[in-house]
Amino acid sequence: MSNEKNLPVIQVTKTLVVSGQQVSLVSRGLDVLKRISFDAQDDNNAVRQWELGCEYMKGSEASRDYERAFYWFCNAAEQGHAEAQFALGALYAAGDGVTQNDELAVMWYRKAAEQGHAWAIRMLGERPGT
């Protein structure tokens, strides 16, 4: 994933806050995502990794990439980032970018819930046997 040739060309129309500065992704598109990608990987920064996962997950239909979102959420979740843990639970529950797996969904929801993540707690309450 560290090879920038692997990154898809993405055209997005939203503003992202990077290091306290608003960056227009419309005019910069792929360049900004490349920079965030390398920053997230180089810094091992869970927040940046989660943000990048969100960008891949929220892309337009043509640019949405659940597998790349999963990759970045995994990096952040392994560092204890509750939002990323919840996102992994949701991806496993829906089978988006990964093979659908209820056990792994519950595992990641639990990790997020242990940190007080309200939606993870709610999702666990709605699943039988959790």
Q: In the chain, where are the structural domains located?
A: 7-126
Mean pLDDT, the chain, integer? 75
**Quick check: pTM over 0.75?**
no
pLDDT tens digits for range 24-71? 444 344 455 555 555 555 567 898 889 889 988 888 666 789 999 999
User: What's residue 11's pLDDT?
Assistant: 37
Q: Tell me, which fold does domain 7-126 have in CATH?
A: 1.25.40
80-89 mean pLDDT: 96
Mean pLDDT of all residues in 90-103: 94
Within 10 angstroms of residue 107's Cβ, the number of other Cβ atoms is 14
- pLDDT on residue 63: 78
Alpha helices (H) in 1-130, listed in sequence order? 25-28, 30-43, 46-58, 66-78, 82-94, 102-113, 118-126
β-partners of residue 17 are 22
Sign of CA dihedral 12, 28, 96, 74: negative
Contact yes or no for 59/25 (Cβ under 8 A): no
Average pLDDT over every residue of 93-117 = 95
